[in-house]
Amino acid sequence: MLQPRQDNQPTNTAAMSAAACVFALLLACPASLVSVSAQDLSAVQQNYKGAFDGKLQFGSSPCLLVVDLVNAYLREGSPLYAAEGGKQALAGTERLLTSARQLGIPVVFTAVKYAKKANGKDAGVWWRKVPALSAFVEGQELAEFPPSLTPLPSEVVLTKQYASSYFGTSLASMLTAMKVDTVVIAGVSTSGCIRATALDTLQSGFVPVVVRDAVGDRRPEVHEANLFDIQAKYGEVRMADQVLAYFEQVAGTKKAPPTRAEEL
């Protein structure tokens, strides 16, 4: 099985990720009630060690899954605007998409869409929980892909109504039919649709690879905390450079179709 090098984290990122994990817990608590020390952060790392530090090997048949990276996350004034997180996701995804297309790696897009006159019924309870989902009503420019991510006619765009790219869609059966074993995940948002998709990728029998600098969120600490959890429990988190090298490795190991002379 193919396996990129394991040093996927930036310098001192173990401590940074632990800090992000703890900070995410603090977001829900009044600052006056909690204090965090270096000892606390070290305890987080030690608590995960031996229980949530396994590794998954990458397979030989990847797919690039671009999750919900539409204008709603990229344009100021949108209720879902992800600021620098969205810009990072876009830049990283553009790199992955260019490479995948050049190397023949299959690409699948997802986009959230709701019927124009359904008044949110197709979003169920989620519509009441997150009113900003109205940005995804069909026909709105916020629900469309930016020009640099326009899907090709040969690329599948799955429409979904919920966070996971698998829930209520044909994604799992399609990946199985394509003989995909590894799903490289890019897009937005790290704490929402990316995390839900990574979890369901694992639960559907594929290796999830979330690309750290090709996903994004509204807040960097939330982004880091969720990547910490994904790496610990559900998948592998890698930098775009490592995934690009993996794509090259996969493409290089694929046998070219035999010539007519070789067939004879």
pLDDT per residue as tens digits for the range 149-181: 999 999 999 999 999 999 999 999 999 999 999
Which pTM value belongs to this model? 0.82
| pLDDT bracket for residue 256 (50, 70, 90) | low
Domain boundaries 56-253, corresponding CATH code: 3.40.50.850
The alpha carbons of the chain give a radius of gyration, in whole angstroms, of 19
The domain locations on the chain are 12-53, 56-253
What distances in angstroms separate CA 19 from CA 15, 29, 226, 241, one per listed residue? 6, 15, 12, 25
pLDDT at 41 > cutoff 80: no
Residues designated as active site: 193
CA–CA separation, 119 and 160 (whole Å): 16
